[in-house]
Amino acid sequence: MLKELKPALLLLLALTVLTGLLYPLLVTGLAQGLLPIQANGSLIEQNGKTVGSSLIGQPFSDPKYFWSRPSSTSPQPYNAASSSGSNLGPTNPALADALKARIATLKTADQGNREPIPVDLVTASASGLDPEISPAAAEYQVARIALVRGLEVATLRELVARYTQGRQLGVLGEARINVLELNLALDRQEKR
């Protein structure tokens, strides 16, 4: 029995060192060397302080900011440790109530806006952490932000255009805008 146990233990030890130590060190070293920003969470810093990640949405409710897509994570919104959708089906009354409440909030914040509300401003993404909104969602909010901040609508539209990212590789996905990056640029714009 010891004759069969010794090779099994040696193989276990070798594979533990290889897959539990050497491989993770190699992958971590390559990631830090080739893609250090992404390997460290795509963190965004302002004045030497980390203010968020470009990969995880953040809640914005102040009318002077662009608002993010709603989050359905719990116990608080945009909780990366609890990434998931709401799992509410289209016929679930709780989903209908949540959508009505989100629509009412948007209409209350911008009572003069009669444009249709873009779907990504009232529905959560599958992960509940989406950091981006569509150009239509940004455009819907431009008039409100211009009024609150006392900025020209054209100035805000230029800022939105500057932060709009196209499709990946020209064909994948849709145009999108990172809300945190846009709001930070908006604050810098206003300080000028």
pLDDT tens by residue, 157-177: 999 999 999 998 888 989 999
Q: Whole-model pTM?
A: 0.81
Backbone CA torsion sign across 126, 183, 143, 161: negative
Q: Are residues 33 and 46 in the same domain?
A: no
Burial of residue 53 (number of CB atoms within 10 Å: 0-12, 13-18, 19+): middle
92 phi and psi, to 5 degrees? -75, 125
pLDDT tens by residue, 111-151: 989 999 999 999 988 888 889 999 999 999 999 999 999 99
Which residues are paired to 135 by β-bridges? none
Q: Are residues 6 and 82 in the same domain?
A: no
Q: With contact defined as beta carbons under 8 Å apart, do 112 and 66 qualify?
A: no
Q: What is the overall mean pLDDT for the chain? A: 90
Q: Are residues 46 and 77 in the same domain?
A: yes
How far is the C-alpha of 190 from the C-alpha of 33, rounded, in Å? 37
How far is the C-alpha of 165 from the C-alpha of 174, rounded, in Å? 9
Residue 111 lies in domain: 42-191
| Local structure of 49: helix, strand or coil | strand
> In angstroms, how far is CA 107 from the centroid of its own chain?
23
pLDDT tens by residue, 177-190: 999 999 999 988 77
Q: Are residues 89 and 129 in the same domain?
A: yes
Q: Are residues 32 and 48 in the same domain?
A: no
Burial of residue 121 (number of CB atoms within 10 Å: 0-12, 13-18, 19+): buried
Q: Are residues 95 and 115 in the same domain?
A: yes
Q: Are residues 92 and 133 in the same domain?
A: yes
How far is the C-alpha of 129 from the C-alpha of 53, rounded, in Å? 11
Q: Give 48's pLDDT tier (boundaries 50, 70, 90).
A: confident
Amino acid present at 13: L
